[in-house]
Structure 1
Amino acid sequence: MSGKKEASNSTLRLSKLMSERGLCSRREADEYIAKGLVRVNGEIVKELGTKVTPDVRISLEAEALKKQKKLVTIIVNKPIGYVSGQPEPGYEPAIRLINDRNQFGQQKRILQRGDLQGLAVIGRLDIDSQGLLLFSQDGRLAKKIIGENSEIEKEYIVRVHYLGPEGRLPDSKLKLLNHGLSIEGQALLPAKVEWINEDQLRFILKEGKKRQIRKMCEQVGLQVKGLKRVRIGKLALGKLPEGRWRFIEEDEEI
């Protein structure tokens, strides 16, 4: 480990390594380091920008672990017309749905002012899509769901209309939806795509490129008439009404 000394090529910032290991986000790591809540090889580190080798032992102090347990994660059933991230002219961001009036169910916890601080969307839905949208203060969860090596499934119900001359999407094109398409020259990971009924497909993806499903459908001659996310990992939208939200309980897995 080194402080202000120039690091060798084999070292990297402690906060980056903590993020890569899934201990917390880089922002959270910097906060914990500044407060003296991080140990490297058994020693407290307080200097931001500290460089370490990739094989060091990293642990968090009890105060940091306790704080992580209090981090809030919220599920929203986003309606069409709301944007997931920053507000756009004429449209409202979905985070504004998270208020006292819209909380669903008889939950033990009620919304506190601090619950909205640092709350970030995980896996966006475009303005014309609806369904399960997650907001969380927990950088570890964000990495788990949308990180580069994420294995978390995202399930969507997509209502489509086939524009081709065959009358119905050929099996060969359905196979392409499952594997073989690319977006902007980058091959897509294998997906699971199957018919639910005559005009609805189920898509299960492990990635989430911008407007990916719409672009996939366009490439095989399908027009998307409706798109709804119903599951992320083990977390299903369930009976949560449109426009309502609830806290994720401690015993729920994603």
Structure 2
Amino acid sequence: QNRQGGYNNQNRQGGFNNRNQGGYNNQNRQGGFNKNRQGKPGMRQNQYGMPQGGKSFVPRPKRIEYETEIPDPNAQIRLNKFMSNAGICSRREADEFIQQGLVKVNGQVVTELGTKISHSDTVEYDEKVVALERKTYILLNKPKDCVTTSDDPNGRTTVLDLVKGACDERIYPVGRLDRNTTGVLLLTNDGDLASKLTHPKYVKKKIYHVWTDKDIAEEDMQRIADGIELEDGPIHADAISYATETDRNQA
């Protein structure tokens, strides 16, 4: 009876009923936001005991700068990698351009794959000199009524219009979102990364959250999973489900 354990011990009681209670309800050594902090005499305080009033400031987002290694002028690099680093295309696409005779090194057409060059060599693609650019990445929350292209013949707003002036490098959208689709879109001049994110062999999956103007029937959900025929061919989802347990117009 004197050394009884558990919740019935009146002297050394443990658990939630301990009178020597810590945390926010401790009257003697109270911590957290309720700790009594006195401000200057006459100064108004908020519910947390902190001085009240004045303007609130939100930190401005800072542009992240990465250190770039200075390349060794005598080191050699594969031609396709050089073109990819310059933001022209992916390495695979560079190989195709090389085989098509569209690439020159020091004024001479190069068609042999695996060709290596030095940083002092002059590379031309499509009769234009290729210059190295630092790799740039812009993550855009694409709004509606905006097309994913670098130039629209119909004069509609493009994703590049939205990020105009954000950087000096030539960037391109990775993949595409339909005009009225919103969400994350990456723009970059990193050809290798763009290829890894979009080429089918890397099996990168996308998740779409869709709202409809009416409830989606279960049989329609099954049809989408099994595959449906569109104007440009058949399509099916790898997986599909309702977004919530109660709302049937979100998938």
TM-score by length of 1: 0.46
Whose radius of gyration is greater, 1 or 2? 2
> Counting strand residues as a fraction of each chain, which structure ranks higher?
1
